[in-house]
Amino acid sequence: MNETFSYNQKAPLNKEEAVIEYRNGISVHDISYAGIKGGRIRAYQVVPQGNGPFAGVIFVHPGPGSRSSFLDEALTLAKARATCLLIDAPWADGAMFGKRASGRPEDVRDWFIDIAIDLRRAVDLISSLPNVDTNRIAFVGHSLGALFAGILLGVDKRIKAGVLMAGVGSFTDVALLNMPTLAGDELEKYKKIMEQIDPLRYIKNAAPSALFFQFGLQDVFFPKQKFLEYYEAGSVLKSIQWYKADHYSINEVGRSDRIEWLKGVLSLNPMQ
Protein backbone atom coordinates (compact mmCIF):
# COMPACT_ATOMS: atom_id res chain seq x y z
CA MET A 1 0.00 0.00 0.00
CA ASN A 2 1.37 3.40 -0.93
CA GLU A 3 1.56 5.57 2.20
CA THR A 4 0.95 8.79 0.27
CA PHE A 5 -2.69 7.88 -0.23
CA SER A 6 -3.27 5.96 3.00
CA TYR A 7 -6.07 6.95 5.36
CA ASN A 8 -8.28 5.58 8.10
CA GLN A 9 -10.68 3.31 6.25
CA LYS A 10 -12.75 3.03 9.42
CA ALA A 11 -13.52 6.76 9.43
CA PRO A 12 -17.32 7.07 9.21
CA LEU A 13 -18.73 7.90 5.79
CA ASN A 14 -21.83 9.51 7.32
CA LYS A 15 -23.79 8.85 4.16
CA GLU A 16 -26.83 11.07 3.72
CA GLU A 17 -29.65 10.66 1.24
CA ALA A 18 -31.89 13.49 0.08
CA VAL A 19 -34.01 12.21 -2.82
CA ILE A 20 -34.92 8.94 -4.51
CA GLU A 21 -36.17 8.99 -8.09
CA TYR A 22 -37.36 5.92 -9.95
CA ARG A 23 -36.75 5.49 -13.67
CA ASN A 24 -38.32 2.34 -15.09
CA GLY A 25 -37.68 0.53 -11.85
CA ILE A 26 -34.09 1.76 -11.43
CA SER A 27 -33.62 4.02 -8.41
CA VAL A 28 -31.49 7.18 -8.55
CA HIS A 29 -30.43 8.28 -5.06
CA ASP A 30 -29.18 11.82 -4.38
CA ILE A 31 -26.52 11.18 -1.74
CA SER A 32 -23.46 12.67 -0.10
CA TYR A 33 -20.67 11.34 2.11
CA ALA A 34 -18.08 12.88 4.39
CA GLY A 35 -14.79 14.06 2.91
CA ILE A 36 -11.62 12.96 4.68
CA LYS A 37 -10.92 16.52 5.85
CA GLY A 38 -14.45 17.83 6.19
CA GLY A 39 -17.03 18.91 3.70
CA ARG A 40 -19.41 16.69 1.79
CA ILE A 41 -18.92 14.86 -1.51
CA ARG A 42 -22.14 14.79 -3.51
CA ALA A 43 -22.99 11.86 -5.74
CA TYR A 44 -25.75 9.95 -7.45
CA GLN A 45 -26.18 6.31 -6.54
CA VAL A 46 -27.94 4.37 -9.31
CA VAL A 47 -29.32 1.04 -8.15
CA PRO A 48 -30.84 -1.81 -10.22
CA GLN A 49 -33.96 -3.69 -9.31
CA GLY A 50 -33.57 -6.88 -7.33
CA ASN A 51 -31.33 -8.18 -4.58
CA GLY A 52 -28.04 -8.58 -6.42
CA PRO A 53 -25.28 -9.40 -6.29
CA PHE A 54 -24.47 -6.41 -8.48
CA ALA A 55 -21.19 -5.15 -9.87
CA GLY A 56 -20.13 -1.65 -8.79
CA VAL A 57 -19.00 1.16 -11.09
CA ILE A 58 -17.67 4.56 -9.96
CA PHE A 59 -17.77 7.44 -12.47
CA VAL A 60 -15.73 10.66 -12.29
CA HIS A 61 -16.54 13.33 -14.86
CA PRO A 62 -14.28 15.79 -16.73
CA GLY A 63 -14.23 19.52 -16.16
CA PRO A 64 -16.53 21.04 -17.20
CA GLY A 65 -18.95 18.40 -16.02
CA SER A 66 -20.83 17.12 -13.01
CA ARG A 67 -22.22 13.94 -11.49
CA SER A 68 -24.94 14.11 -14.16
CA SER A 69 -22.40 13.68 -16.99
CA PHE A 70 -22.57 9.87 -16.94
CA LEU A 71 -26.12 9.45 -15.64
CA ASP A 72 -27.52 7.99 -18.87
CA GLU A 73 -24.62 5.56 -19.01
CA ALA A 74 -25.17 4.55 -15.40
CA LEU A 75 -28.83 3.87 -16.12
CA THR A 76 -27.81 1.62 -19.01
CA LEU A 77 -25.37 -0.29 -16.81
CA ALA A 78 -27.98 -0.59 -14.06
CA LYS A 79 -30.16 -2.47 -16.55
CA ALA A 80 -27.23 -4.90 -16.85
CA ARG A 81 -27.07 -5.30 -13.05
CA ALA A 82 -24.46 -2.77 -11.95
CA THR A 83 -24.80 -0.30 -9.08
CA CYS A 84 -23.19 2.98 -10.09
CA LEU A 85 -21.80 5.86 -8.05
CA LEU A 86 -21.40 9.17 -9.90
CA ILE A 87 -19.22 11.68 -8.06
CA ASP A 88 -19.42 15.48 -8.12
CA ALA A 89 -15.67 16.16 -8.38
CA PRO A 90 -14.12 19.42 -7.09
CA TRP A 91 -13.69 20.61 -10.68
CA ALA A 92 -17.49 20.64 -11.09
CA ASP A 93 -17.05 24.21 -9.83
CA GLY A 94 -14.60 25.30 -12.51
CA ALA A 95 -13.86 28.76 -11.13
CA MET A 96 -13.12 27.57 -7.61
CA PHE A 97 -11.08 24.62 -8.78
CA GLY A 98 -9.04 26.68 -11.25
CA LYS A 99 -8.14 29.26 -8.64
CA ARG A 100 -7.08 26.72 -6.04
CA ALA A 101 -5.27 24.51 -8.54
CA SER A 102 -3.18 27.51 -9.62
CA GLY A 103 -1.69 27.95 -6.17
CA ARG A 104 1.65 26.87 -4.71
CA PRO A 105 2.57 23.43 -6.05
CA GLU A 106 2.99 22.08 -2.51
CA ASP A 107 -0.59 23.09 -1.71
CA VAL A 108 -1.92 21.71 -4.99
CA ARG A 109 -0.14 18.38 -4.42
CA ASP A 110 -1.58 18.05 -0.91
CA TRP A 111 -5.06 18.94 -2.13
CA PHE A 112 -4.87 16.40 -4.94
CA ILE A 113 -3.85 13.75 -2.40
CA ASP A 114 -6.98 14.60 -0.42
CA ILE A 115 -9.08 14.33 -3.60
CA ALA A 116 -7.63 10.88 -4.34
CA ILE A 117 -8.40 9.78 -0.79
CA ASP A 118 -11.96 11.06 -1.04
CA LEU A 119 -12.31 9.00 -4.22
CA ARG A 120 -10.98 5.97 -2.38
CA ARG A 121 -13.72 6.60 0.15
CA ALA A 122 -16.16 6.26 -2.73
CA VAL A 123 -14.75 2.74 -3.10
CA ASP A 124 -15.39 2.27 0.63
CA LEU A 125 -18.97 3.40 0.12
CA ILE A 126 -19.81 1.22 -2.86
CA SER A 127 -18.05 -1.75 -1.23
CA SER A 128 -20.19 -1.31 1.89
CA LEU A 129 -23.46 -1.82 0.03
CA PRO A 130 -24.82 -5.27 0.89
CA ASN A 131 -25.91 -6.07 -2.67
CA VAL A 132 -22.57 -5.19 -4.34
CA ASP A 133 -20.05 -7.89 -5.24
CA THR A 134 -16.74 -6.43 -4.04
CA ASN A 135 -14.85 -8.60 -6.53
CA ARG A 136 -16.47 -6.71 -9.42
CA ILE A 137 -15.76 -2.99 -8.92
CA ALA A 138 -14.70 -0.68 -11.77
CA PHE A 139 -13.65 2.96 -12.01
CA VAL A 140 -14.40 5.20 -15.02
CA GLY A 141 -12.63 8.57 -15.30
CA HIS A 142 -12.70 11.22 -18.02
CA SER A 143 -9.97 13.89 -18.39
CA LEU A 144 -8.94 14.87 -14.84
CA GLY A 145 -11.05 11.93 -13.72
CA ALA A 146 -8.75 9.70 -15.78
CA LEU A 147 -5.67 11.06 -14.02
CA PHE A 148 -7.10 10.22 -10.63
CA ALA A 149 -8.25 6.86 -12.00
CA GLY A 150 -4.61 6.06 -12.75
CA ILE A 151 -3.66 6.75 -9.14
CA LEU A 152 -6.51 4.73 -7.67
CA LEU A 153 -5.96 1.75 -9.95
CA GLY A 154 -2.35 1.66 -8.81
CA VAL A 155 -2.94 1.91 -5.08
CA ASP A 156 -6.39 0.42 -4.40
CA LYS A 157 -6.59 -3.27 -5.24
CA ARG A 158 -10.33 -3.38 -4.66
CA ILE A 159 -10.76 -1.86 -8.13
CA LYS A 160 -10.74 -4.66 -10.69
CA ALA A 161 -11.11 -2.65 -13.91
CA GLY A 162 -10.67 0.91 -15.12
CA VAL A 163 -11.69 3.01 -18.10
CA LEU A 164 -9.43 6.03 -18.68
CA MET A 165 -10.73 8.59 -21.16
CA ALA A 166 -8.68 11.47 -22.60
CA GLY A 167 -6.28 11.43 -19.66
CA VAL A 168 -2.52 11.96 -19.46
CA GLY A 169 -0.02 10.76 -16.89
CA SER A 170 1.26 14.13 -15.63
CA PHE A 171 -0.50 16.79 -13.58
CA THR A 172 2.08 19.28 -14.87
CA ASP A 173 0.83 18.77 -18.43
CA VAL A 174 -2.66 19.69 -17.22
CA ALA A 175 -1.35 22.72 -15.32
CA LEU A 176 0.35 24.06 -18.43
CA LEU A 177 -3.04 24.29 -20.14
CA ASN A 178 -4.36 26.54 -17.41
CA MET A 179 -1.16 28.36 -16.46
CA PRO A 180 0.58 29.16 -19.76
CA THR A 181 3.05 31.49 -18.01
CA LEU A 182 4.46 28.60 -15.99
CA ALA A 183 8.01 28.30 -17.31
CA GLY A 184 11.68 28.10 -16.42
CA ASP A 185 12.62 27.42 -12.81
CA GLU A 186 9.00 27.71 -11.66
CA LEU A 187 7.98 25.03 -14.14
CA GLU A 188 10.78 22.72 -13.00
CA LYS A 189 9.80 23.24 -9.37
CA TYR A 190 6.16 22.54 -10.14
CA LYS A 191 7.03 19.39 -12.08
CA LYS A 192 9.35 18.09 -9.35
CA ILE A 193 6.70 18.49 -6.67
CA MET A 194 3.74 17.20 -8.66
CA GLU A 195 5.51 14.20 -10.16
CA GLN A 196 5.46 12.68 -6.67
CA ILE A 197 1.77 11.94 -7.28
CA ASP A 198 1.66 11.73 -11.08
CA PRO A 199 -0.51 8.90 -12.40
CA LEU A 200 2.47 7.64 -14.42
CA ARG A 201 4.01 6.51 -11.12
CA TYR A 202 0.99 4.42 -10.16
CA ILE A 203 -0.76 3.12 -13.27
CA LYS A 204 2.11 0.67 -13.80
CA ASN A 205 0.98 -1.10 -10.62
CA ALA A 206 -2.63 -1.58 -11.72
CA ALA A 207 -2.31 -5.31 -12.49
CA PRO A 208 -4.20 -7.56 -12.16
CA SER A 209 -6.83 -4.90 -12.88
CA ALA A 210 -7.85 -4.57 -16.53
CA LEU A 211 -7.43 -1.17 -18.23
CA PHE A 212 -9.27 0.33 -21.21
CA PHE A 213 -7.89 3.61 -22.59
CA GLN A 214 -10.03 5.80 -24.87
CA PHE A 215 -8.53 8.78 -26.71
CA GLY A 216 -9.67 11.28 -29.32
CA LEU A 217 -7.69 11.87 -32.49
CA GLN A 218 -8.94 15.48 -32.61
CA ASP A 219 -7.97 16.36 -29.05
CA VAL A 220 -6.50 19.89 -29.07
CA PHE A 221 -5.37 19.86 -25.44
CA PHE A 222 -2.72 17.13 -25.58
CA PRO A 223 -0.61 15.62 -28.38
CA LYS A 224 -1.07 11.96 -29.23
CA GLN A 225 2.32 11.15 -27.73
CA LYS A 226 1.14 12.18 -24.26
CA PHE A 227 -1.76 9.76 -24.51
CA LEU A 228 0.55 7.00 -25.70
CA GLU A 229 2.88 7.60 -22.75
CA TYR A 230 -0.01 7.09 -20.36
CA TYR A 231 -1.17 3.95 -22.13
CA GLU A 232 2.34 2.50 -22.34
CA ALA A 233 2.91 3.13 -18.63
CA GLY A 234 -0.14 1.01 -17.77
CA SER A 235 0.27 -2.53 -16.54
CA VAL A 236 -0.04 -5.46 -18.92
CA LEU A 237 -3.80 -6.12 -18.94
CA LYS A 238 -4.78 -3.20 -21.15
CA SER A 239 -6.36 -2.17 -24.41
CA ILE A 240 -6.63 1.11 -26.30
CA GLN A 241 -9.12 2.64 -28.73
CA TRP A 242 -8.85 5.83 -30.79
CA TYR A 243 -11.87 7.84 -31.92
CA LYS A 244 -12.61 10.61 -34.37
CA ALA A 245 -13.43 12.89 -31.45
CA ASP A 246 -12.17 15.82 -29.44
CA HIS A 247 -11.34 15.89 -25.73
CA TYR A 248 -14.96 15.98 -24.60
CA SER A 249 -16.98 14.32 -27.36
CA ILE A 250 -15.16 11.05 -26.69
CA ASN A 251 -17.69 10.66 -23.89
CA GLU A 252 -20.42 10.22 -26.48
CA VAL A 253 -18.66 8.45 -29.35
CA GLY A 254 -16.93 5.89 -27.14
CA ARG A 255 -19.97 5.11 -24.99
CA SER A 256 -21.03 1.82 -26.58
CA ASP A 257 -17.46 0.47 -26.58
CA ARG A 258 -17.06 1.44 -22.93
CA ILE A 259 -20.35 -0.14 -21.89
CA GLU A 260 -19.60 -3.38 -23.74
CA TRP A 261 -16.09 -3.53 -22.27
CA LEU A 262 -17.45 -3.05 -18.74
CA LYS A 263 -20.10 -5.69 -19.31
CA GLY A 264 -17.38 -8.11 -20.32
CA VAL A 265 -14.85 -7.51 -17.52
CA LEU A 266 -17.55 -7.30 -14.84
CA SER A 267 -19.59 -10.23 -16.14
CA LEU A 268 -22.76 -8.16 -16.41
CA ASN A 269 -26.03 -9.64 -17.57
CA PRO A 270 -29.18 -7.77 -18.56
CA MET A 271 -32.00 -7.86 -16.03
CA GLN A 272 -34.73 -10.32 -16.88
DSSP per residue, 26-81: EEEEEEEEE-BTBSEEEEEEEE-SSS--EEEEEEE--SS--TTTTHHHHHHHHHTT
29-43, 68-82, 92-106, 198-212: range with lowest mean pLDDT: 92-106
Q: Is the pLDDT of residue 234 over 60?
A: yes
Q: Is the pLDDT of residue 237 over 70?
A: yes
Average pLDDT over residues 152-166: 98
Q: Is the pLDDT of residue 52 over 90?
A: no
Q: In 231-262, which positions are buried (b, 16+ CB within 10 angstroms) versus exposed (e)?
A: bebbbeebebeebebebbebbeebeeebbebb
pLDDT at 271: 63
pLDDT band at 249 (very low <50, low <70, confident <90, very high): very high
pLDDT at 269: 83
pLDDT band at 59 (very low <50, low <70, confident <90, very high): very high
Average pLDDT over residues 173-195: 93
List, in order of start, the domains of the chain with CATH numbers. 12-94+101-265 (3.40.50.1820)
Average pLDDT over residues 228-248: 97
Q: Is the pLDDT of residue 62 over 60?
A: yes
Q: Is the pLDDT of residue 272 over 70?
A: no
Distance CA 258, CA 12 (A): 33
Average pLDDT over residues 180-200: 95
On whether the pTM is more than 0.75, the answer is: yes
| Helix, strand, or coil (residue 132) | strand
Q: Is the pLDDT of residue 156 over 80?
A: yes
Q: Is the pLDDT of residue 86 over 70?
A: yes
pLDDT at 209: 97
Share above pLDDT 90 across residues of the chain, in percent, rounded to a whole number:
88
Q: Mean of the per-residue pLDDT values for the chain?
A: 95
Q: Which of 56, 103, 101 is nearest to 77 (CA)?
A: 56
